[in-house]
C-alpha cells in the first residue's frame, strides 16, 4: 500500500512540475509582429478612367423638308464625302411646287408687260394733254406693282427650287456615318435627326474627373480656371503641362498613339461631383471609331509617398487604419489617406504617416490601441 502511495505521489508531483514548466513557457512566449519603417519614395501611379470616343467634329444631319424617304444611299459605318447624297426624299410635291412657281412667274411677267405698255401709252397721251397727270401716275403705280409681283414670283420660284434641292440630303463634312435611324419608306420631318457624320481624322475621348482628382491636378500642375476652361497660370494649355495619356481598348490592347488632354472644364457638376474633360488622339489609320467605350491610362507621379503591403491596412468602412509603433512599444492606430498600387499588392500612403514611423505589417488585424507590440 505504501508503495502504491509513493508511485501516486511521484506521478502527481510530475504532473504538477510539468504544469508549472508549461506555464513559464507560456509567459515567455510572445506574438512576434513584423514591422516596417516608413521611407518616402517617388512612384508613378496609373489612374484608369473610363471614356467614350467622339470624332473631332460631329454633325447631326436633319432634313430641311418633310416627305417620304425614297432612297438611302449608304450603310452605317462607311466613310462619306462632303456633298455626297445620303438620303433622297420624295420630290413629287416639290417638283409640282416648282412648276406652279414657274407658271406664276410667267403670268406675272406677262402682266408686267401689259402694264408697261399701258404706262408708256399714257406717257405719250399725257404729253399731248389727252389724259390727266393722275391717269399717268395711276398707270405708273400699276406698272410698278406688276414689277414687284414679278420679283415676288421669282422669290417663290427660288424657294420652290431650294426645297426641291433639299430633297437630296447631303453629307455636311467628310467623315464616318453612324446612327442611321431611318429606312426607305419612312416619313421624315425637319425635327428628325437622320444620322450623324463624324470626322474621325482625330478622336476625342470624353471623360470625367472627380472633384478630388481635379483639386489634385490644380495643385500639382498649378492650374487656374478661365473662361476657356483650365489653363496654366502663365496661359499654357493643359496639354502642354499634363503628361500624355494612353488608351486601352475593350479587348485589352493599348492603342499605338498617345493622346493629350486638350480641355478640362472649370465647373463641378453638383449632381455627379465630376468635371468634364477631353483628350485628343491622332487616328491616321482609322483604328478608332466614334462611340467606342475605352479606358484612359493617366500616369501620375507621386512624391514622398510610403509603399506598404496591403496586409498592413485595417479597413474601417471607407477609411484605412495603420498601427504605428510608439516609443514604449505599444500600438497606435492612425487613419491614413492611401491609394492601391496598380499591382494590387501595396498601398501608397499619401497622408497620415511620416518618414521614420514604424508600422505593424503582419498581425495588424489583431491589434488595438495600446496593445504591446514589443
Which tens digit of pLDDT belongs to each residue from 286-323?
Answer: 889 888 999 999 988 888 999 999 999 999 888 999 99
Task: Please report the pLDDT score of residue 4 as a whole number.
Answer: 35
The DSSP code sequence of 147-167 is: HHHHHHHHHHHHHHHHHHHTT
pLDDT at 7 over 70: no
Task: Please report the pLDDT score of residue 12 as a whole number.
Answer: 34
| Residue 110: domain span | 92-165
pLDDT at 2 over 60: no
pLDDT at 28 over 80: no
Report how far residue 327's alpha carbon sits from residue 317's, in angstroms, rounded to the nearest whole number: 29
296 shares a domain with 222: yes
Q: In sequence order, which residues have a C-beta less than 8 Å from that of residue 349 and are 6 or more positions away?
A: 38, 305, 306, 307, 308, 322, 336, 337, 338
Total domain count for the chain? 4
Mean pLDDT over 268-277 rounds to 87
Q: How many residues does the chain have?
A: 374
Higher pLDDT, 3 or 279: 279
Cα-based distances in Å from 5 to 8, 16, 294, 355: 5, 16, 87, 67
134 shares a domain with 98: yes
155 shares a domain with 126: yes
pLDDT at 228 over 50: yes
The total of other beta-carbon atoms located within 10 Å of residue 46's CB is: 12
260 shares a domain with 355: no
- CATH number of the domain where residue 146 is located: 1.10.287.470
Mean pLDDT over 161-171 rounds to 96
Task: Please report the pLDDT score of residue 320 as a whole number.
Answer: 93
- Give the confidence band of 30 by pLDDT, cuts at 50, 70, 90: low
Q: Where are the alpha helices (DSSP H) in 166-309?
A: 211-221, 238-241
102 shares a domain with 82: no
Q: Is residue 23 part of a domain?
A: no
Strand (E) positions, 159-292? Answer: 168-170, 175-178, 187-188, 195-210, 223-226, 229-232, 246-248, 260-264, 274-282
256 shares a domain with 307: no
Q: Is residue 175 part of a domain?
A: yes
pLDDT at 223 over 60: yes
259 shares a domain with 238: yes
Mean pLDDT over 57-64 rounds to 93
pLDDT at 8 over 70: no
Residues 81-140: tens digit of each pLDDT: 999 999 999 999 999 999 999 999 999 999 999 999 999 999 999 888 888 989 999 999
Phi and psi, residue 365, nearest 5°: -65, -20
Mean pLDDT over 261-268 rounds to 86
Instruction: Say if residues 347 and 340 touch (Cβ distance below 8 Å).
Output: yes
Spatial CA neighbour of 174 closest among 84, 51, 108: 84
DSSP, collapsed to helix, strand or coil, labels residue 326 as coil
The H or E element that residue 295 is part of is strand 293-309
Scan for cell 432612297, then name that residue: 71
Q: Is residue 12 part of a domain?
A: no
pTM above 0.85, yes or no: no
Strand-pair partners of 165: none
Residues 349-368: tens digit of each pLDDT: 989 999 999 999 998 888 99
Mean pLDDT over 239-268 rounds to 91
- Give the confidence band of 75 by pLDDT, cuts at 50, 70, 90: confident
219 shares a domain with 281: yes
Residues 100-117: tens digit of each pLDDT: 999 999 999 999 999 999
Report how far residue 314's alpha carbon sits from residue 188's, in angstroms, rounded to the nearest whole number: 62
Mean pLDDT over 35-56 rounds to 92
318 shares a domain with 336: yes
Q: Is 319 left (phi over 0), alpha (psi -120 to 50) or beta?
A: beta
351 shares a domain with 265: no
Q: Is residue 4 part of a domain?
A: no
| Range with lowest mean pLDDT among 226-235, 240-249, 288-297 | 226-235
Report how far residue 45's alpha carbon sits from residue 343's, in angstroms, rounded to the nearest whole number: 10
Q: Is residue 19 part of a domain?
A: no
The total of other beta-carbon atoms located within 10 Å of residue 253's CB is: 10
The mean predicted confidence, pLDDT, of the chain is 87
Q: Is residue 288 part of a domain?
A: yes
The total of other beta-carbon atoms located within 10 Å of residue 303's CB is: 10
- CATH number of the domain where residue 244 is located: 2.40.30.170
Q: Is residue 6 part of a domain?
A: no
Greatest Cα-to-Cα distance within the chain, rounded to the nearest angstrom = 178
pLDDT at 221 over 90: no
DSSP, collapsed to helix, strand or coil, labels residue 272 as coil
Task: Please report the pLDDT score of residue 25 as a whole number.
Answer: 41
pLDDT at 16 over 50: no
Q: Is residue 347 part of a domain?
A: yes
Scan for cell 509582429, then name that residue: 33
Report how far residue 201's alpha carbon sits from residue 319's, in angstroms, rounded to the nearest whole number: 45
| Range with lowest mean pLDDT among 208-217, 275-284, 310-319 | 208-217
Task: Please report the pLDDT score of residue 168 as a whole number.
Answer: 96
275 shares a domain with 317: no
- Give the confidence band of 19 by pLDDT, cuts at 50, 70, 90: very low
181 shares a domain with 153: no
Task: Please report the pLDDT score of residue 148 as a whole number.
Answer: 97
- CATH number of the domain where residue 345 is located: 2.40.420.20
Q: What angle do CA 347, 352, 354 make, to 5 degrees?
A: 90
Report the chain's terminal Cα–Cα distance, integer Å.
Answer: 53
Amino acid at each position: 500500500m505504501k508503495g502504491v502511495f509513493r508511485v501516486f505521489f511521484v506521478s502527481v508531483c510530475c504532473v504538477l512540475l510539468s504544469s508549472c514548466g508549461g506555464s513559464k513557457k507560456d509567459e515567455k512566449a510572445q506574438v512576434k509582429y513584423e514591422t516596417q519603417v516608413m521611407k518616402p519614395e517617388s512612384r508613378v501611379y496609373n489612374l484608369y478612367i473610363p471614356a467614350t470616343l467622339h470624332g473631332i467634329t460631329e454633325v447631326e444631319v436633319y432634313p430641311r423638308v418633310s416627305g417620304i424617304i425614297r432612297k438611302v444611299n449608304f450603310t452605317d459605318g462607311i466613310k462619306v464625302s462632303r456633298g455626297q447624297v445620303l438620303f433622297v426624299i420624295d420630290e413629287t410635291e416639290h417638283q409640282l411646287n416648282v412648276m406652279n412657281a414657274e407658271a406664276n412667274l410667267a403670268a406675272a411677267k406677262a402682266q408686267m408687260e401689259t402694264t408697261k405698255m399701258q404706262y408708256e401709252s399714257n406717257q405719250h397721251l399725257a404729253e399731248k394733254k389727252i389724259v390727266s397727270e393722275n391717269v399717268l401716275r395711276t398707270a405708273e403705280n400699276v406698272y410698278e406693282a406688276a414689277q414687284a409681283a414679278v420679283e415676288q414670283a421669282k422669290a417663290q420660284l427660288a424657294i420652290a427650287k431650294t426645297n426641291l434641292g433639299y430633297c437630296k440630303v447631303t453629307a455636311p463634312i467628310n467623315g464616318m456615318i453612324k446612327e442611321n435611324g431611318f429606312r426607305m419608306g419612312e416619313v421624315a420631318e425637319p425635327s428628325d435627326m437622320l444620322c450623324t457624320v463624324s470626322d474621325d481624322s482625330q478622336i476625342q475621348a470624353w471623360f470625367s474627373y472627380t472633384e478630388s482628382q481635379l483639386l489634385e491636378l490644380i495643385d500639382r500642375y498649378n492650374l487656374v480656371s478661365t473662361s476657356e476652361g483650365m489653363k496654366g497660370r502663365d496661359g499654357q494649355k493643359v496639354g502642354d503641362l499634363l503628361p500624355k495619356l494612353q488608351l486601352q481598348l475593350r479587348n485589352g490592347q493599348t492603342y499605338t498613339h498617345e493622346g493629350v488632354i486638350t480641355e478640362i472644364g472649370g465647373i463641378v457638376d453638383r449632381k455627379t461631383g465630376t468635371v468634364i474633360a477631353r483628350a485628343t488622339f491622332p487616328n491616321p489609320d482609322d483604328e478608332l471609331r466614334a462611340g467606342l467605350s475605352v479606358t484612359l491610362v493617366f500616369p501620375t507621379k507621386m512624391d514622398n509617398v510610403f509603399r506598404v503591403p496591403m496586409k498592413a491596412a485595417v479597413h474601417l468602412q471607407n477609411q484605412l487604419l495603420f498601427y504605428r509603433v510608439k516609443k514604449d512599444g505599444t500600438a497606435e492606430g492612425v487613419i491614413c489617406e492611401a491609394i492601391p498600387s496598380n499591382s494590387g499588392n501595396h498601398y501608397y500612403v499619401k497622408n497620415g504617416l511620416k518618414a521614420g514611423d514604424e508600422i505593424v505589417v503582419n498581425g495588424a488585424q489583431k491589434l488595438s490601441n495600446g496593445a504591446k507590440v514589443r
